[in-house]
Amino acid sequence: MKIYKSIYEVKAIPNAVVTIGTFDGVHMGHQAIFTKMKSIAQSMGGETVVLTFDPHPRQVLNIDSSNLRFICTPEEKLRKFEEFGIDNVVIIKFTKEFSRTPSDVFIKDYVIDRIKPAVIVVGYDHHFGKNRMGDFYRLSDLATQYHFKVERVAAQDVEHIAISSTKIRIALSVGNVKTANMLLGYEYTVSSEVVRGNEIGRTIGFPTANLALPKEYMLIANAGVYACLVDYDGQTYKAMANIGRRPTIGDRAEGDFIIEVNLFDFDGDLYGKTIRVRFVDRIRDEEKFEGLPQLKTQLEHDRISAKALLEAYNPSKH
């Protein structure tokens, strides 16, 4: 996959099949667009192009920024683009000045002149340009003028739930990773560096990898204990994770979350290493126990529950 960090870096892309958006989460609705793009590109010997923005427009425009949380990091988003078969990604630097670009000017100056698309594929509710004035119908008008085709992908749903990034965020905010994963089409994932903790878990037989929390705008699932899969150094390990404040130990302030991961059947030093934690299902709420012995007893039960969930888990369903 080729990554262009400026629209001005783009060279000729033959029979370009283009889509435009922020694609937070790269969920199943986005994946349907990519599938359509790949089919069209294959039929005409072309290449797929995702045109996206950094930073996210809402960060720049301060739209409800205090509640702004993203499902995946920019790095994870690029990883998903490649995983789902995108050939080219063009990243446009989003500024307040750029936000004032009218939709017609944006399509002409940034898409037509630079990428020369054969086809533009959009989702059913796609909007673009200043004040989000551009839409499928305006694109259809421009398609006649500039000699490209435009395709629209219908709304997607899973088990009668319409897919959207907002619904995924709501599911994660209450710890419902199972529903979030169903809408994402893969496991909700946190990739981060392992940092040193106070190593209390090691003293009760549950050594944990403590994760440096992602950037402030990243969404962390609700507090609780989860069954997980951990990718590290080309291997996947079964694990359980706690998201929360560790109330039994009492070393975290209100709202000061930490993610601790206990890998099963792993013996090694992870400090300073980056691991990917894929959340499969929620086991229970985070609880405060009378002391470490009671916490250890509960963790033993949690490990049994996590192993049972992971043993029965079928990733192909996601």
Residues 17 and 119 sit within 8 Å (Cβ to Cβ): yes
pLDDT tens, residue by residue, 34-65 = 999 999 999 999 999 999 999 888 888 876 66
pTM summary value:
0.88
pLDDT tens, residue by residue, 63-87 = 666 677 899 888 999 999 999 999 9
Q: Which long-range contacts (CB under 8 A, 24 or more apart) does 246-249 make?
A: 247/286, 247/287, 247/288, 248/287, 248/288, 248/289, 248/291, 248/292, 248/294, 248/295, 249/198, 249/200
Structure confidence at residue 67 (pLDDT): 74
Please give the Cα distance from 52 to 7 (Å, whole number).
Answer: 10
Phi, psi (degrees; rounded to nearest 5) at 130: -55, 130
> Comparing C-alpha atoms, which of 93, 128, 100 is closest to residue 18?
128
> Comparing C-alpha atoms, which of 276, 289, 192 is closest to residue 239?
276
Which residues of the chain, if any, have pLDDT below 70?
63-66, 131, 133, 157-161, 198-205, 246-256, 316-318
Please give the Cα distance from 119 to 48 (Å, whole number).
Answer: 10
Please give the Cα distance from 175 to 242 (Å, whole number).
Answer: 11
Q: Which residues of 15-41 are buried (b: 16+ CB within 10 A; e: fewer)?
A: ebbbbbbbbbbbbbbbbbbbebbbebb
Residues 176 and 191 sit within 8 Å (Cβ to Cβ): no
Structural domains of the chain, with CATH:
11-155 (3.40.50.620), 175-317 (2.40.30.30)
Distance of CA 76 to the CA centre of its chain: 6
